[in-house]
Structure 1
Amino acid sequence: MTTRTLVVVSAGLSVPSSTRLLADRLAAATVAAAGRAAGDAMPVEVTHVELRELAHDITDHLLTGFAPAALRRALDAVAAADGLIAVTPIFNASYSGLFKSFTDVLDRTALDGTPVLLAATGGTARHSLALDHALRPLFAYLRAAVVPTGVFAATEDFAGGALRARIDRAAAELADAMARREPAAPADPFALTTDFAALLAGD
């Protein structure tokens, strides 16, 4: 069976990070769910993108329009993914500035039709609505295929069974969406990433 690629984007700012912890749990659950899909194991290759490590590169790209090598590898991985897990901390009732900046430098069609699982962390459950009023509209604009179940984890949730159940449900939805999607074609290393018309227009 064709191996699917799963990219996990985490926007945690601290080390260790509850955002990365949630991202890791979602990735592991998705791989496990893929192994049970329709009784026929679907191999999944996981790539982690830690935005904290790319913060300076993202800023440079926003200012210059050019992606340094490490950021370009991350952007290419997202564009070529068969599935994406995107996890951000919630600040002031919305995604973090670092998370938004990364989506701002994604190629326009990078997430067209890509199955995406959205997740977030916050200090209290009061931030949970950010999944629906901030993250879902953003990824709808990016034309991603967001799975129905989003996962929010407040600090006290990590020890509870309710979070485990929600992680498993969301992961199963993502694994199923990845299994039903045509595998992404391998990237052409010689292909132009921007057409000349866009270059001339200054886009």
Structure 2
Amino acid sequence: MKLVVVSAGLSVPSSTRLLADRLAAATVREASADVQVVELRDLAVEIAHNFTNGFPGRALGAAIDAVTGADGLIVVTPVFSASYSGLFKSFFDVLDKDALSGMPVLIAATGGSSRHSLVLEHALRPLFAYLRAVVVPTAVYAASEDWGAEGLAERIDRAAGELVGLMVGARGGVRRVDAVGAVDAADMVSVADVVSAADVVATGARVDTDTAAAISPRSLEGAVTSADGFTVVPFEQQLAALRV
């Protein structure tokens, strides 16, 4: 498996990079993976040029290829003005809007005060939900006082375990379904304990075979049956069936 870590830390050394490294190490302890780190600080100029000329430079292009070709992502940003940093957002703005569809992502942030911990829920999680990534339930925030304190290591381990569960499809192996019902058989993710109601609405509901049989044959076009006997029916097709 390939794990890519995106760090938006600006200083050297950086607490953002430190948290990114700890999350990557915890993930590798759960399952073997090749780890590649993308330091956005080194790509700042090329990201700016990409906005003005529409073309990524060599280093930025390599970073984009690494991120879009990963089996899972760990993304970490420092908090700026109660949100993610501009550099962090700019990097994900240059990606194609569908590039992270179905991608397992662990979100994390660092800040000087625990008062900014909700940045994970009001900024990062909505961003990756918009990009149709699959975000693990446990997000990790590290304030200055958290380093060396009780609790951070446990949060890191829990989040890493959830990411690995998505990356290897530890429970079930339901196929990733895109917005129009197409299925990539090579992309397998676990739905147990990690797929929220919003993910179901966005990508299609998971129904048992009796329920699927009650839906009209036309509405089942594009549906797939997973290894555990459930049928995934794209949400648009379920709505169409209700209108009949």
Normalization by structure 2: what TM-score?
Answer: 0.69
Query: What is the deviation of 1:183?
Result: 5.7
Q: Please, which of 108, 129, 143 is the counterpart of residue 97 of structure 2?
A: 108
Q: What are the Cα deviations for residues 25-62 of structure 1, in whole angstroms up to 9, with x where unaligned?
A: 0000000011xxxxxxxx30001000000000100001
Could you tell me which residue of structure 2 aligns to residue 119 of structure 1? 108
Partners of 1:82 and 1:183 within 8 A in 2: no
The secondary structure found in structure 2 opposite 1:67 is coil
Structure with more relative contact order (C-alpha pairs < 8 Å, separation 6 or more): 1
Distance in 2 (CA, whole Å) between partners of 1:81 and 1:12 is 21
CA RMSD after TM alignment: 1.1
Distance in 2 (CA, whole Å) between partners of 1:183 and 1:56 is 35
Query: What is the deviation of 1:165?
Result: 0.3
Q: What are the Cα deviations for residues 108-143 of structure 1, in whole angstroms up to 9, with x where unaligned?
A: 221110000000000000010000000000000000
Distance in 2 (CA, whole Å) between partners of 1:28 and 1:108 is 29
Gaps of 5+ in 1: 35-42, 185-203
Normalization by structure 1: what TM-score?
Answer: 0.83
User: Counting helix residues as a fraction of each chain, which structure ranks higher?
Assistant: 1
The secondary structure found in structure 1 opposite 2:11 is coil
Query: What is the deviation of 1:156?
Result: 1.2
For 1:13-52, list aligned pairs within 5 A.
Answer: 13-34=10-31, 43-52=32-41
The secondary structure found in structure 1 opposite 2:147 is helix
Query: What is the deviation of 1:161?
Result: 2.6
Distance in 1 (CA, whole Å) between partners of 2:26 and 2:91 is 25
For 1:65-104, list aligned pairs within 5 A.
Answer: 65-104=54-93
The secondary structure found in structure 2 opposite 1:47 is strand
Give the residue type in structure 1 aligned to 2:24: A
Could you tell me which residue of structure 2 aligns to residue 159 of structure 1? 148
Partners of 1:26 and 1:171 within 8 A in 2: yes
Distance in 2 (CA, whole Å) between partners of 1:176 and 1:158 is 26
Report how many aligned residue pairs link the two structures.
Answer: 173
Distance in 1 (CA, whole Å) between partners of 2:13 and 2:143 is 16
Give the residue type in structure 1 aligned to 2:25: A
Tell whether 2:167 aligns with 1:178. Answer: yes
Q: Percent identity?
A: 65
Specify the structure having the higher radius of gyration (Cα).
Answer: 2
Q: Please, which of 1, 5, 23 is the counterpart of residue 2 of structure 2?
A: 5
Query: What is the deviation of 1:158?
Result: 1.1
Distance in 1 (CA, whole Å) between partners of 2:186 and 2:81 is 37
Partners of 1:6 and 1:47 within 8 A in 2: yes
Gaps of 5+ in 2: 174-184, 188-244
Distance in 2 (CA, whole Å) between partners of 1:128 and 1:154 is 8
Q: What are the Cα deviations for residues 157-183 of structure 1, in whole angstroms up to 9, with x where unaligned?
A: 111130000000000000111011776
